[in-house]
Amino acid sequence: MRISSRWWLALALVAVASPAAAQGAGDWTTYGGNDWNQRYSKLKVITTANVSQLGARMVFQTGIAKLGSFENTPLVVDGTMYVTTPYNTAMAYDLNTHKELWRYEHKLGTTIYCCGPNNRGLGIHGGAHVYMGTLDAHLVALDAKTGKVLWDKEVADPSYGYSITHAPLVIGDNVIVGVSGGEYGIRGHVTAYNAMSGEQVWRWYSIPAPKGDATFDDKAPNGWWGTWAPKAETNDLHRDIAKEKADSAKYADAWQKGGGGVWTTPAYDKDLNTIFVSVGNPSPDLDGSVRPGDNLYTDAIVAIDATSGKTKWYYQTVPHDVWDLDATSPPVVTTVGGKKVVVHAGKTGWVYVLDAATGKLVRRSDNFVPQENMFALPSDKGTRMLPGANGGSEWSPIAVDPNSGYAFVAALHQPMNYITHNAPLEKGKLWLGSAFVAIPGEEQYGLYSAVDLKTGKIAWQNKVPQPMMGGALATAGGLTFTGEGNGNFNAYSSRSGKLLWTFNGGAGCNSAPMTFMHGGEQFIAVACGGNFQLSYPLGNSVYVFGLPKRTAMKK
């Protein structure tokens, strides 16, 4: 059959405009690498055989004096790299000339955020517009070519504790954005905005309201009180449910300030027309006595209809959380044994594999960090708690290799005492931190693990000197990449976990890396600018690694 030239033109235009097509060409067009958030690239110029030759081919320094947690994953579209800084400056670099094309500095108003300034990146729409969420809870649309502001919307009032740190997700003509602020008595939400006009399309609340409220959610008929679950799967939560029920009337309005930030980038499945989000902790974090009930949908993975913004299903990992072991790492969609699943690495130290259509638990993996006294309550003398309050897996995105079925998880081992008194008052420190006290003399370290999603077993595990926060990348070249707080950026064999290459970036490489093709070469990029919360050395560099020019050309 002959196709007319008009059809060819139409196909070409679709290919240019479609992020999926662009990614096929070697661009990295969304925070998680694709709509499924897999952080897996089919690129395989860089392999286990040649990765030892990797070197820094470009270094982009933001030049920003005010440093914070540099958690950005750059985007690359059509020869341009887009980067954001912890205090919401967005910038574009030309990969041919290595010159800065533009920068946009957001003038921050009132800001409030719990765990250090950060921003994880941008969303992009059709290659023409980029979107940044800000610490003062705005969503800003910029012209991708010039950095000029197209529109700027206040998503929520920042004086109430709202902020935005994650990279927005672009689906069709909608920009999807959640909010941080679970430490400040917010009511979390996810909002869809029209990419062109900035008009709100829908808003989904992460704390379901009781019957009678305009925002009542029929998937939670008992509101945020839920089903009074005594266990998290097989683990006893040590709840006094009778007392909680008795206190319900007294704290009937607690849901209005129930927390539930959605502060990492959701995943999206086109066939199911569903967005999958991780919902953070209830508010207040630790004092469960003032918020009786399961505190839905905190600590949950929730499926939301992408068109209507209505809840489809939820899976709560920790009902009535008083340990801050919430759901923060971004959810990932993949297939396991022919079934479409949603994967989440919890602060609890387990990887959850859920049926993407129903939310039913398919399996919970073996623990990828040591666990002890799971869900034990605090005591006067201190209850030894493993994992500590940071997890497990914190916000760090996992990577999933769909061929091997491995999920690569960067995790923390921080033994802590969970105590109810005698915490010293430290001026200027976040008060919450005093709740959990590191156990003197006990080693803290990081663990980088491959979790076999087919079996739930740990396929391999590497120990690194410091607790890990940043994220993972996997490629078809048989490699997985991740960084450390000491500045090391590492490549491992994804099959065996063998360390094959390392580079020290001079500051903590505490961001999720990405990869792209440019000029016929494959590159790996990572922001090495440290982490404020863990006191890892700060910096402002984005490293771009490639093979030596000659080797690359041979390919």
- The residues of the shown chain that bind another protein, judged by CB under 8 A, are 64-66, 85, 87-89, 105-113, 117, 157, 159-161, 183-186, 250-251, 253-254, 257, 283-287, 290, 420-423, 425, 427-432, 434-435
Picking from 366, 450, 326, 348, the residue whose alpha carbon sits closest to that of residue 400 is 450
Q: Could you tell me the smallest distance in angstroms from the CB atom of residue 542 to another protein?
A: 16
- Both structure tokens of 485: 């707080």
Q: Which is nearer to another protein, 3 or 65 (CB)?
A: 65
Cα dihedral 73, 74, 78, 80 in deg (nearest 10): 180
78-98 in b/e burial notation, b at 16+ Cβ within 10 A?
A: eebbbbbbbbbbbbbbebeee
Q: Which is nearer to another protein, 106 or 129 (CB)?
A: 106
Q: Which is nearer to another protein, 78 or 426 (CB)?
A: 426
Picking from 506, 497, 486, 473, the residue whose alpha carbon sits closest to that of residue 444 is 486
Q: Which is nearer to another protein, 41 or 88 (CB)?
A: 88
Q: Could you tell me the smallest distance in angstroms from the CB atom of residue 113 to another protein?
A: 7
Distance CA 127, CA 18 (A): 8
Phi then psi for residue 40, to 5 deg, are -120, 130
Q: Which is nearer to another protein, 54 or 435 (CB)?
A: 435
Cα distance between the two ends of the chain: 35
Which residues, in sequence order, are bridge partners of residue 386? Answer: 372
Q: Which is nearer to another protein, 35 or 285 (CB)?
A: 285
The residues, any chain, with a CB within 8 Å of residue 545's CB and separated by 6 or more, are 54, 55, 56, 57, 489, 503, 523, 524, 525, 526
Amino acid symbol at 547 = L
Distance CA 504, CA 370 (A): 28
Contact 288, 299 (CB under 8 A): no
* Helix and strand numbers, DSSP H then E, in the chain: 4, 38
Q: Could you tell me the smallest distance in angstroms from the CB atom of residue 435 to another protein?
A: 7
Picking from 341, 362, 500, 473, the residue whose alpha carbon sits closest to that of residue 410 is 473
Peptide bond into 370 cis (omega under 30): no
Q: Could you tell me the smallest distance in angstroms from the CB atom of residue 419 to another protein?
A: 8
Q: Could you tell me the smallest distance in angstroms from the CB atom of residue 165 to another protein?
A: 14
Q: Could you tell me the smallest distance in angstroms from the CB atom of residue 104 to another protein?
A: 10
454 SS3 class? coil
Q: Could you tell me the smallest distance in angstroms from the CB atom of residue 185 to another protein?
A: 4
Q: Which is nearer to another protein, 284 or 309 (CB)?
A: 284
Q: Could you tell me the smallest distance in angstroms from the CB atom of residue 323 to another protein?
A: 14
Q: Could you tell me the smallest distance in angstroms from the CB atom of residue 124 to another protein?
A: 21
158 SS3 class? helix
Q: Which is nearer to another protein, 214 or 249 (CB)?
A: 249
Q: Could you tell me the smallest distance in angstroms from the CB atom of residue 118 to another protein?
A: 13
DSSP string computed for 348-399: TS-EEEEETTT--EEEEPPPSS--BSTTPPPBSS-EEEBSBTTBSS-SPPPE
Q: Could you tell me the smallest distance in angstroms from the CB atom of residue 290 to another protein?
A: 6
Q: Which is nearer to another protein, 157 or 233 (CB)?
A: 157
Distance CA 39, CA 36 (A): 8
Q: Which is nearer to another protein, 211 or 429 (CB)?
A: 429
**Where are any strands of DSSP class E within 405-512?**
406-413, 416-418, 436-438, 445-452, 458-464, 472-475, 479-483, 488-493, 499-504
Q: Which is nearer to another protein, 490 or 540 (CB)?
A: 540
Distance CA 371, CA 386 (A): 5
Q: Could you tell me the smallest distance in angstroms from the CB atom of residue 125 to another protein?
A: 24
Q: Which is nearer to another protein, 103 or 219 (CB)?
A: 103
